[in-house]
Structure 1
Amino acid sequence: MSFSSKVKEELSRQISTARHCQIAEIAAILSVCGQVSISANDHFRVIVHTENVSVARKYFTLIEKTFNIEAVIHVRKNVYLKKSNVYRVEVSSHEDTVRILQATKFMSPEQEIADDLSVMSRLVIQKECCKRAFLRGTFLAAGSISDPEKGYHLEIVCSTQERAEQIQSIMREFELDARIVARKKSQVVYLKEGSQIVEFLGLVEAGISLMDLENIRIRKEISNNINRKVNCETANIGKTVSAAVKQIEDIRYIETHVGFSQLTEELEETAVCRLRYPEATLKELGEMMSPPVGKSGVNHRLRKLGRIADELRENKEDYND
C-alpha cells in the first residue's frame, strides 16, 4: 500500500464527534465527487462516485452517523482499469436527499440547488474545527501524497479555479504555503515542503501517518548529514593528499639538483620528515620535529621549500634557453 493510500485509510476511520464537523466533511466529499439527480417529477437523489474505497466508506459512515440515513453502495469494475473498482454511494430518498443538501448548504430552503457544487458555502466552514474537517474530506476525495522516501509533495486536484482558491485560502489560514498550478483541465493546490505536509497531516488528524512521515524525514536528514560530512572529509583528504604529493615532488627536486646541504637545518628537518612520513598531517609532522613545531609553522616551511623548488626549475629553464 502506498503512503498516500495509508493516509487515506487512516482518515477514513477518523470521525469527528461534532455534527457540524461531520456536515463540513460530507460537504467536502460531495463537492469533489457528488452528483444530484433530478427526475421528471422533481424527485432528488444524491450520488457519490469514487474509485477509492476509503472515500466510499467514509461518506457512507458519515451519512449514517449524521443523518441516520443508510445509503446504498454499488460496486462495479472499472471499464478502463480492470483491476480497479468504481463505488457509487446513493441516497435515493427525496426527503433524505433534501436534508443532506440543505444541511451542507448546496440547497436553499426553497429547494434550489447551488449552481456550482464544487465550491462550499462559508456557512458550513465558519469554525476552525469545521475547516479542518473540510480539508480532511477534500484531501480524502481528491488529494494525494508522494512517497516521502523519494520526495515531499502533497496535492489536491480541483475542477475549477474558484475551488482551488477556496482550498488555498483555507490552507493559508493555517499558515500553510499552498500554491496553485494548472494541469491539463484541472487546477492543483500543492505543498512542497516536508514540514508543511507534516503540519497538514496534523490539521486533518492523521496522527499515525504524521509520525511515519516524521520518522522518514529524521532518517533522511541524518543520512544527508552523514553524507555531507563524508563528502567534506573526502574532499579534505583529497586536498591533503594532493598537497602532500606536490610537497614531496618539490623536496625530491631539491634533493636531486642541489641536495639538502644547501638548506637551513629547519628546512632540511622538515624535508626529511615529509619524505619519511608522506601520509602524515601537518600537525603530526610538527610533533615529530625537535623542538615540536605548530601546524602553521610546518606549513610555512613546506611553502618555502616549494618556492625554492620553483626557483630551481626557473633557473634550469633559463640556463637551457
Structure 2
Amino acid sequence: MSFSSDVKEELVHLSGHELHCVVAELAAIICFSAKVSCSESSGYHIILETENIAVAKRFYLLLKKAFCFQPRVVVSQHESGKKSHFFTISAEGAANVLQVLKTAGLMNNRGQVDEDEYLTDNPVLQRTCCRRAFLRGAFLAAGSVTDPERNYHFEITCVDGREAEQLRDFMQFFGLDAKIVLRKKYYVVYLKEGSMISDALNIMEAHVAMMKFENIRIVKDVRNSVNRRVNCEAANINKTVSAARRQIEEIEYIRKTVGLDKLPENLRDVAYARLEEPDAALKELGEMLHPPVGKSGVNHRLRKLSQMAQQLKESGHI
C-alpha cells in the first residue's frame, strides 16, 4: 500500500472518541465526499460513493455509532472491468437523514442544507477535539499525503474556492500554513513543509504514520546536511587547488623573467615554499617558513607575488 493508504488505514481503526467528535468527523466526510440530495417524495438523502474501502467502512461505522441506524451498503464492480470494487453507502429515511444533517450542523434554521458557512459558524466545531476529528474526516474523504521518501506534500481536494478558503482558515487554527492551488476543476488545499505535515498527522491522531514520517525526515535531513557539507568541502578544495595552481604559474613566471633571487627575502622564502609544496594550505606554508608566519601573513605575501607577476607582464619590470 502507499503511504497515504497506510495513513487512512490507521485513521479508520481509531476508536474511543466521544460522540461529539464522531459527529464532527462524520460532518467532514459528508461535506467533502458525500452527496446530499432532496426529492419531494422521500426528502433528503445522503450518499457516499467511493473506491476506498477504508473510507466506506469509516463512514458506515460513524453513522451507525452516532445515530444507531443501519446505512444501506451496495458493493459493485467497475464497468471498465477493473478488479477493484465500488462502494455506495447511503442514509435513507427522512427522519434519519434530517437527524444527521441537523446534528452535524449542516442544516440551517430554515431547514436548508447550508454548505456555504459550515466551517465558520458550525456549533459542532467549537471544541478543539472536534476540530481534530473534522480534519481527520476531511483527509479521509478527500485527502492524500505523498510518501516522504519522495517529497513532502499533503493535500485535501475541495469542489469550490469558497470551501477551500474555509478549510485553509480552519487549518490555520492549528498553526498549519496551508496554501490553495487550482488543479483542473478542483481547488486543492495543501502543505509542503515537512514539519507542518508531521503536525497535521499528529493532529489527526495518525501517530504511527507520524513517527514513520519523522524517521524518514530525520534521515533525509541528515543526508542532505552531509551532502551540503561534502559539497562545500569539495568546493573549498577546488578553490584551494585553483589558487595554488595560479600562484605557482605566477612564481614560475617571475623566476623565468627576473629570477627569484631578485625578490625580497620574505617573498623569496614563501615563493620557494609554494614551489616545494604545491598542494599545501596557507597555514602549512606558514609553518614551513623561518620564523613561522600566520595564514594571513602568507596570504599577504602571495598576493604581493601575484601583483609583481602582473606588473612584469604589463611593463616588463618590477
Same fold (TM over 0.5): yes
| Offset from partner CA, 1:202-253 (integer Å, 9 cap, x none) | 2111111111222222222212211221121111111111111111111111
What secondary structure sits across from 2:268 in the alignment?
helix
Q: 8 Å contact 2:42–2:93 — kept in the other structure?
A: no
Which residue in 2 is equivalent to 1:173?
A: 173
AA aligned opposite 2:56:
A
Which residue in 2 is equivalent to 1:114?
A: 113
AA aligned opposite 1:24:
A
Q: 8 Å contact 1:282–1:295 — kept in the other structure?
A: yes
Distance 1:244 1:272 in 2: 13
Distance 1:307 1:37 in 2: 85
Alignment of 1:139-150 (within 5 A): 139-150=139-150
Q: How many residues align?
A: 316
Q: 8 Å contact 1:47–1:89 — kept in the other structure?
A: yes
Which residue in 2 is equivalent to 1:100?
A: 100
The answer to whether residue 316 in structure 2 is matched with residue 289 in structure 1 is no
Decide which moves more: 130-139 or 146-155.
Answer: 146-155
Alignment of 1:2-21 (within 5 A): 2-21=2-21
Distance 2:228 2:214 in 1: 21
Q: 8 Å contact 2:76–2:85 — kept in the other structure?
A: yes
Shift of 1:90: 2.6
Shift of 1:99: 3.3
Distance 1:240 1:159 in 2: 58
Distance 1:310 1:97 in 2: 90
Shift of 1:178: 2.1
Decide which moves more: 30-39 or 20-29.
Answer: 30-39
The answer to whether residue 279 in structure 2 is matched with residue 274 in structure 1 is no
AA aligned opposite 1:162:
R
Distance 1:109 1:310 in 2: 89
Q: 8 Å contact 1:60–1:89 — kept in the other structure?
A: yes
Structure 2: unaligned runs, 5 residues or longer: none
| Offset from partner CA, 1:248-294 (integer Å, 9 cap, x none) | 11111122222222123322221221111100001111111222111
TM-score, length-normalised on structure 2? 0.89
Q: 8 Å contact 2:116–2:162 — kept in the other structure?
A: no
Q: 8 Å contact 1:106–1:117 — kept in the other structure?
A: no
Q: 8 Å contact 1:118–1:159 — kept in the other structure?
A: no
Cα RMSD, aligned residues only: 2.5
* Residues 262/71 of structure 1: CA separation in 2 closer, same or farther (3 Å cut): same
TM-score, length-normalised on structure 1? 0.89
Decide which moves more: 290-299 or 40-49.
Answer: 40-49
Distance 2:284 2:88 in 1: 76
| Offset from partner CA, 1:132-159 (integer Å, 9 cap, x none) | 1111101110111223223222211111
Q: 8 Å contact 2:43–2:94 — kept in the other structure?
A: yes
* Residues 287/108 of structure 1: CA separation in 2 closer, same or farther (3 Å cut): closer
What secondary structure sits across from 2:220 in the alignment?
helix
Distance 1:161 1:133 in 2: 22
Which residue in 1 is equivalent to 2:131?
A: 131
* Residues 243/107 of structure 1: CA separation in 2 closer, same or farther (3 Å cut): closer
AA aligned opposite 1:114:
V
Decide which moves more: 133-142 or 178-187.
Answer: 178-187
Q: 8 Å contact 2:106–2:118 — kept in the other structure?
A: no
Distance 1:222 1:251 in 2: 43
Distance 2:117 2:30 in 1: 8
| Offset from partner CA, 1:165-210 (integer Å, 9 cap, x none) | 2212211222221222333322222222222212211211111111
Q: 8 Å contact 1:102–1:109 — kept in the other structure?
A: no
Q: 8 Å contact 2:101–2:113 — kept in the other structure?
A: no
Structure 1: unaligned runs, 5 residues or longer: none
